[in-house]
Amino acid sequence: MDTTYDPALAGEGADDGQPLLYPRIDCRDVSVFYSGKQAVFDVSLPVFDRSVTALIGPSGCGKSTFLRCLNRMNDTIDGAKVTGEIFMDGENINSSHIDPVLLRSRVGMVFQKPNPFPKSIYDNIAYGPRIHGLVDDRQELDAIVEKSLRRAGLWEEVKDRLGQPGTSLSGGQQQRLCIARAIAVRPEVILMDEPCSSLDPIATARIEELIDELRKRYCIVIVTHSMQQAARVSQRTAFFHLGHLVEMGDTDQIFTSPRERRTEDYITGRFG
């Protein structure tokens, strides 16, 4: 199968929700070291557009470390070193000429705990478009704020209190606000690092519904400790163990007929 990314097949506005045969990101032999100690070992995997890829595995297996490679967040950690190649639109994002700040506007991140800025709901969303120069006037900014909040399923709940602090929202609402903030800068990829771990079941269900809706437009990679969540929201699943990618495939295949014994042992609860 030809896995070269074809931008003509992607793009905002696509809404059939079907995964494509082309990876948006192609990772080749990616390794990560912290102060010389290796944490991720030679991981190669494609990440497909308009679909959700779930990274699963026990705590400390390298899932989040690998996720942070996809927008060079590991660059911010002293002593961290990433080797290998990660291609996006045909360019290796680890190349010296790639601006990490611009990369992170294309590859958004939603963290484990909601982290709204100490600003109003409106300014949380408007911050990114302002600093990246995506708007020319207030009317255009208003439209981006409303569109982002609608896509995050939050507009109807906050439209009458946009001037209130983002921290005044509930935990689930704050996480949806952070997702709205991420998509306001028109990213192509959204990374989520255990986005539901601090949320109650009702808020978790809302976020999962949102992920399913967003994947019709975006390439999404999610780290989760919940195998049930991975099974519900993803089309492809990658199982990590001790820093190694053990197995990757269609989610149904991984959960019903894994090829590797370690994958089966983890899924059936024999370890983890």
**Sequence-separated (6 or more) residues with CB below 8 Å from residue 44:** 27, 28, 29, 30, 84, 245
Burial grade of 200 (CB within 10 A; 0-12, 13-18, 19 or more): exposed
pLDDT single digits (tens) 151-187:
999 999 999 999 999 999 999 999 999 999 999 999 9
- Residue 194 one-letter amino acid: E
Q: Which residue type sits at 98? A: I
CB atoms within 10 A of CB 26: 20
Q: Is the pLDDT of residue 6 over 70?
A: no
Triad 169, 209, 50: Cα angle to 5°: 120
Question: What digits encode the pLDDT tens for the residues 111-158?
Answer: 999 999 999 999 999 999 999 888 889 999 999 999 999 999 999 999
Q: Which of 32, 30, 54 minimizes the C-alpha distance to 44?
A: 30
pLDDT for 16 beyond 70: no
Domain 23-268 = CATH 3.40.50.300: yes
Single pTM value for the model: 0.88
Tell me what percent of the residues of the chain surpass a pLDDT of 70: 92
Say how many Å lie between the first and final Cα of the chain, rounded. 34
Band (pLDDT 50/70/90 cuts) for residue 110 is very high
